[in-house]
Amino acid sequence: MSALAVVLVGTSLPALAQDTMAEARIRKMEAEIRALQRQVFPGASGDKLFAPEITPGQPAATNTATPASTPVSDLLTRMDTVESQLAKLTAQIEQTSNRLSILEAKSAVGTADAAATTAGATPTTAAPAAGDSNLAAMSGGASAPKPVVAPPVAAAPKPVAAAARATPTTTRPTAQRLAAVQAIQKPATNDPGDDEYSYGFRLWEAKFYPEAQQQLKMMVDRYPRHAKISFARNLLGRAYLDDGKPREAATWFLQNYQGDKTGARASDSLLLLAESMRQLKDTSRACIALAEFADTYAAEAAGRLKSQYDATRGGVKCPAK
């Protein structure tokens, strides 16, 4: 043997050994998959995924032609086939597990129906309960239904007298109050919007605060662009504030101030907003409103509204600037 032949033989031995090991691993994997198929799907078509082994006495096929592919490509092809069949087998196993779960759920429903029938309950009530518990088990408890609570039995109605004592009724205006309200004359001029405002002012001045609120709301809704709209919204807030409802009052004061900061009563509304916050014990917002009033309406704070501004500021403890 020449030196060149020795070198070639020496270099081909590692590759040949690797091919032999890979071939052995492939054969082992194919055998394990066939065994698994026969175990999970006995008699099914799955055990025909691979060609049957050569039986004794069967003549081995001889091929004298030149191979169409290399051993490495054949090995890779067989590897791909094994992996594909393994994935298909895994999917079939999962499908079988799902079918088993469904069968177990149906069996549980049937058992629950039988138990419910024995206990005197209706099967339709027991079936959803079993289905829900099975759903909860399959979803890891994430879909667990809330426990069914029987509706409370309605209590016997209270006697009319007792119900009247338990629930205070809305105070109805007395005949005397109705007569006093009707005695307040509503203006009738060529300016209906001004008439509505003036009538609301007269009701507020007479301390009929609920009636004044209703009247001024009607004026604001009907005449949103009237020249007296700033007066009306501010007076509506005052009707609530004087009625002991500072939260409702604050809504109208803020709306009047933000709606038109140059309005005739915008400065009054901002200051009264601070007073509403003070009565609500919201010192932070009261101080914010007072600070903005002093910055925005400095002339008013030192003139027409000075006494009211000082009184409101004296009622809260705002941090020093």
Average pLDDT of the chain to the nearest whole number: 73
pLDDT at 274: 96
Q: pLDDT confidence of 116, banded at 50, 70, 90?
A: low
State percent of the chain over pLDDT 90.
45
Distance CA 98, CA 102 (A): 6
Task: Answer yes or no: is pLDDT of 123 > 70.
Answer: no
Residue 294 in tokens: 């002093």
Distance CA 303, CA 240 (A): 26
Among the residue ranges 72-81, 183-192, 199-208, the one predicted with the least confidence is 72-81
Q: pLDDT confidence of 76, banded at 50, 70, 90?
A: low
pLDDT at 269: 97
Q: Answer yes or no: are the C-beta atoms of 289 and 270 closer than 8 Å.
A: yes
Q: pLDDT confidence of 114, banded at 50, 70, 90?
A: low
Better pLDDT: 25 or 303: 303
pLDDT at 19: 57
Q: Answer yes or no: are the C-beta atoms of 33 and 86 closer than 8 Å.
A: yes
Task: Answer yes or no: is pLDDT of 235 > 90.
Answer: yes
Number of neighbouring beta carbons within 10 Å of residue 164: 11
pLDDT at 41: 57
Domains of the chain by start residue, with CATH? 16-42+75-143 (no CATH), 178-314 (1.25.40.10)
Q: pLDDT confidence of 113, banded at 50, 70, 90?
A: low
Distance CA 110, CA 85 (A): 38
pLDDT at 88: 75
Highest mean pLDDT among 51-65, 96-110, 114-128, 221-235: 221-235
Q: pLDDT confidence of 242, banded at 50, 70, 90?
A: very high
Average pLDDT rounded to a whole number, residues 159-176: 52
For residue range 255-294, list pLDDT tens digits in order.
999 999 999 999 999 999 999 999 999 999 999 999 999 9
Task: Answer yes or no: is pLDDT of 303 > 80.
Answer: yes
pLDDT at 118: 54
pLDDT at 236: 97
Q: What angle do CA 256, 261, 265 make, to 5 degrees?
A: 55
pLDDT at 132: 44
Task: Answer yes or no: is pLDDT of 85 > 90.
Answer: no
Average pLDDT rounded to a whole number, residues 34-38: 70
Q: Tell me the one-letter amino acid at 238.
A: R
pLDDT at 93: 74
Average pLDDT rounded to a whole number, residues 43-61: 48
